[in-house]
Chain A
Amino acid sequence: MMNTPQQVKNPSTSLKSRFITRFLGALTKINAEDPISSPSPTRIFQRYRRIKVASNKSMAYSVRSRRIWSRAMLSRFRSRRSAFSGRRSSVKTTNCTTINVTINENKTAKGGLDMQTDELRELVPGGEAMDVCNLLDETAHYIKCLTTQVQVMRKIVDFCHLSK
């Protein structure tokens, strides 16, 4: 039985390490593209936006398509990219509207907690197309990934400060 290297799961590639890999790669790339010593505010703001997007994107790619929220986030990035090049992906919007109809029916059954579940849906990417049960599940995983993200970024900032 031959196990190809892709099939054998490396136990040391946790979510954290995958995220660190990608994010640091993105940071090096941003540093390489941008002229480092350009203090103009617009440049700084652009850089900040890039880093933020890189952080979210690295996390979404580290989770791959295993979660609904990561899939939604990735398709959001892709549609944003394709919108720049002039193409429109309207498939996703139609899917959302059909699913929203069923969600409304479920809401009346639950009653009273619609406001909070709506808010949660807005916060979690891809939350509009989920029922409450899956929403809570995705929220838990999303929180876990967000805490990882925050932890890693904090460490990187600390290292940057320390090594100055």
Chain B
Amino acid sequence: MADFSEQSYRQPFPFLDIDPTMESLTQFAELNPQSFILDNSAFNFQTFFPLSINDSLFSNQASQGETMSGFIHNSNQSSVSAQPIFSAKTEVEEISNKRKALDILESSSGNSSSSSPQVSETGIKRRNNSGRGKRAKSNEKEMEKPKEVVHVRARRGQATDSHSLAERVRRGKINERLRCLQDIVPGCYKTMGMALMLDEIINYVQSLQNQVEFLSMKLTAASTYYDFNSESDAMERMQRGKAEEAKELERLMREGYVGIGGVACFHSSSTYGPL
């Protein structure tokens, strides 16, 4: 296996001829679909593999050269993201498709800020290459299924639909809200998927509602012999409770029933009738 990889690694270097490179790539992909992750020793070696090919592919296009350095930095970090390139490249026929592969690399190593201005540029290019991406759609779905944890999104063949664009925006909103909820709800970890987080959230809301019920029961017992209207209690509260809330309670006690008469919600005693 090592020999084969060495051989195919040597191949793309000297020339700009694309098709044999692609053939070797497809063979390589078929032989080692999963060894990228498992084989740690040769891992860095293999991650450089797609980069070198891209280098040769895009040597014609000088504008893309700047992004190459970004990739070389990023590939070492986001090593898992190297895998989708190969399954994507089984589809390659023209240079425009390789440009889309560049998009995949960019989106997969999208952690760097340097690639973000490029992404918007390529977004426009993607929309222009409308018709070619149709066969790539199935590839994109294949790539997305195992990748949900790693958040790699291959946008080939998806950009043109207004539906998919809107759906992507919608998903982004939902993820943002979920992140906010994560901060609020204790016990939510970022590593958990959406299903687990929703479970946690549901449990938390249920427990809070139960707490309200339990506390109202406790209050029933505690408040039966308690006079909320007396002022002395307010003074006691000031000594014990927090300053702000105690001040408010005291204020309320001083206002007494006068304030209550003005409160709109309790104007009818029938609200507390038989339920």
Contact = CB atoms under 8 A, between A and B. Distances in A.
A159 B266 contact: no
Contacts of B38: none
27 contacts: A20-B252, A22-B265, A25-B252, A25-B260, A28-B260, A30-B272, A31-B226, A33-B272, A37-B224, A44-B224, A51-B220, A58-B265, A77-B271, A80-B275, A109-B167, A123-B205, A123-B209, A124-B205, A133-B177, A139-B181, A140-B184, A146-B209, A153-B215, A155-B241, A155-B245, A157-B219, A164-B226
A52 B212 contact: yes
A63 interface: no
Contact of B249 (A20, A46, A50, A146): A20
Interface stretch (B12-20, B70-78, B111-119, B192-200): B192-200
B274 to A, nearest CB: 7
A29 interface: yes
Given A26-B266, A143-B201, A143-B208, 19 more contacts: A27-B219, A47-B224, A51-B220, A52-B216, A53-B275, A57-B265, A57-B271, A116-B198, A133-B177, A136-B177, A143-B185, A143-B205, A150-B208, A153-B212, A155-B241, A156-B219, A158-B240, A159-B233, A160-B223
Main DSSP-derived SS at the B contact region: helix
Contacts of A149: 212
Contacts of B266: 22, 25-26, 29
Contact of A123 (B206, B240, B252, B263): B206
| Shortest beta-carbon contacts, A-B, top 7 | A136-B177, A160-B222, A116-B198, A146-B208, A153-B215, A52-B216, A25-B260
Say which size band chain B's interface belongs to. 35 or more
Given A142-B205, A163-B226, A25 B185 contact: no
A143 to B, nearest CB: 6
A27 B260 contact: no
A77 B266 CA distance: 12
B142 interface: no
Contacts of A88: none
Interface residues of A, number: 70
B146 interface: no
Interface in A103-124: 109, 112-113, 116-117, 119-120, 123-124
A41 to B, nearest CB: 11
A149 B210 CA distance: 12
B212 A21 contact: no
Interface string A41-71: 0001011111111111110010000000000
